Amino acid sequence: MKQIILYVFLIISSSLHAQRERAEAYINKYKDLAISEMQRTGIPASITLAQGILESQFGESDLAVNANNHFGIKCKTEWTGQKTYHDDDLKKECFRVYPSAADSYKDHSNFLMTREWYAFLFKLEPTDDSGWAYGLKKAGYATEKDYPQRLLKLINDYQLQQYSLAALGKPFTETTSSNIVSNKNLKKQRIINQPSSQTNSAAPVAEMEPVIVKKSIEATDPEEKNEAEIEVKKQVNNETEIKKISALCDSFGVLMAPHNPLGPIATMVNVHIGLSTSNFLIQEVMRNDVPWREDVFEGIAEIREGYVYPPTEPGIGISLNEDLAKHYPFQNSQPVQWFNKDGSVADW
């Protein structure tokens, strides 16, 4: 069994390394095009590159190689140039053929600029990757349900926002955020920034590896693998550790549903994790435990129609009114008691 697990991990490691090399080669080849198009049209270079990588499969798809079509743009009625036909949502759909990749990048920009259903995107901040990613999906650019998450994962994995900042003439550091937090609308109240634990972060991941691998090998059917339930009762001490576990799970198609201690601070930390995690599934929240929750805290995660939206405050995006909190001293509450039908104590 250990040999099988090692073999699986060697294959995955080799595959991920090769994928990164392909992505970096694509970025180095086309980043200048994305930057120049952003300067010409305002479309974030990070979004353009992420779409190019995703739609063209690192520039290796049939459309990219044989038609210089890096964005999967179909002919539509106004196209008078050369055409090619490929199976997509339907059989033998018509796609545009370009003389060069540069023409593809330029036409991609023009395509978004000249259609009214994309107009709202150009009102967003030029560094609002999340807004653009979800906006493209909303406007119908792609049919894949996880299209926004896949774009944002590429942007985060390969730090593509640096090219948007380069187009704007701004510096980039590794701590630059992809619109998960911003440094505007500062409040007078103390901003809560909890430091990460200094404990050894290797143990929880090491303990989860054999469980995830075993479950994934047993779930040979792709649909079953996506639904595989991985339950490891292990406390994770910081957000970096969760991200490592998430990346490991993502390698096997396992989705993440982080536990939430249910306070506003913990909720907001989990919101950040969810927004920056491609295999995020669902998040539990507590909204009506006490009537004064939103009086004491400012910046509580906004939830509309079942979706949580990114905060706009600095730090983790939530602030505490300490003066008002003094009016609500801590009180013990009755713990939840949950039993199975046979009378045995259930987990909480």
Res 191: pLDDT = 32
The two tokens of residue 22 are 């392909």
Res 286: pLDDT = 73
Res 175: pLDDT = 44
Choice between 316 and 137, residue whose per-residue pLDDT is larger: 137
Section 287-312 average pLDDT = 77
Res 2: pLDDT = 44
Range picked from 2-16, 168-182, 330-344 for highest mean pLDDT: 330-344
* Residue % of the chain over a pLDDT of 90: 31
Q: In whole angstroms, how far apart are CA 38 and each of 46, 137, 141, 163, 280?
A: 9, 20, 18, 9, 30
Contacts of 218 (CB under 8 A, 6+ apart): 228
CATH number of 20-71+102-167: 1.10.530.10
Task: Give residue limits of the domains in the chain.
Answer: 20-71+102-167, 190-325
Fold of 190-325: TIM Barrel (3.20.20)
- Rounded Cα distance, 239 and 36, in Å: 36
Lowest mean pLDDT among 48-52, 134-138, 208-212, 265-269: 208-212
Over residues 132-176, the pLDDT tens digits come to 999 999 898 988 888 999 999 899 888 999 999 999 998 876 544
Section 297-305 average pLDDT = 79
**Does the pLDDT at position 183 exceed 60?**
no
Res 348: pLDDT = 53
CB atoms within 10 A of CB 317: 22
DSSP string, 97-163: --SSHHHHHHHHHHHHHT-GGGGGGGGS-TT-HHHHHHHHHHTTS---TTHHHHHHHHHHHTTTHHH
Name the average pLDDT for the chain.
Answer: 76
Binned at pLDDT 50, 70 and 90, residue 310 comes out as confident
Over residues 54-95, the pLDDT tens digits come to 999 999 999 999 999 999 999 988 889 999 998 877 888 999
Lowest mean pLDDT among 12-26, 57-71, 227-241, 254-268: 227-241
**Does the pLDDT at position 114 exceed 60?**
yes
Determine contact, residues 263/296, Cβ cutoff 8 Å: no
How deeply is 110 buried, as exposed, middle or buried, from its count of CB atoms within 10 A (0-12, 13-18, 19+)?
middle
Lowest mean pLDDT among 9-23, 48-62, 72-86, 216-230: 216-230
Binned at pLDDT 50, 70 and 90, residue 276 comes out as confident
Coil, strand, or helix at residue 44? coil
Res 301: pLDDT = 76
Res 7: pLDDT = 45
Lowest mean pLDDT among 26-35, 42-51, 108-117, 306-315: 306-315
Choice between 12 and 181, residue whose per-residue pLDDT is larger: 12
